[in-house]
Amino acid sequence: MAAGRRTGAERSVILGYLEDGPNLVTLAMNAWADPEPAWWLNLQAHPEARVDLKDGTRVVRAREAEGAERERLWAAFVATDANIPRHATRRSRRTAVVVLEPA
């Protein structure tokens, strides 16, 4: 759960993710449509969030991966689905790789 950027009200969303050490990593995509997903805009405004997983709850802080880290994590997602690069071409902007680090 994260706070909404305008209202501050708690918002929740179900996301697919990969684990990268202690971090959870996801892609900021809106079904590959062009607009940024609301959950990512909310996390940019309020990066602290709570993640509910089957093994418990984690408090995290969101950030966008950049440079070599982004390339490495993007490749990890492509390894799970070779169609990701093709899907990403539907967007006019680069798809953010979002890292959720333990807070």
Question: Are the CB atoms for 100 and 24 separated by under 8 Å?
Answer: yes
Neighbour count for residue 44 (Cβ, 10 Å)? 16
Residue tagged 């909404």 (tokens): 4
The whole-number pLDDT of residue 30 equals: 87
For 24-75, what is each residue's pLDDT tens digit? Answer: 999 999 888 999 999 999 999 999 999 999 999 999 999 999 999 999 999 9
Residue tagged 């449509």 (tokens): 33
The whole-number pLDDT of residue 1 equals: 65
Residue 8: pLDDT band with limits 50, 70, 90 = low
- Predicted TM-score (pTM) of the model is 0.91
Among candidate residues 95, 34, 102, the one with its CA nearest the CA of residue 70:
95
The whole-number pLDDT of residue 3 equals: 61
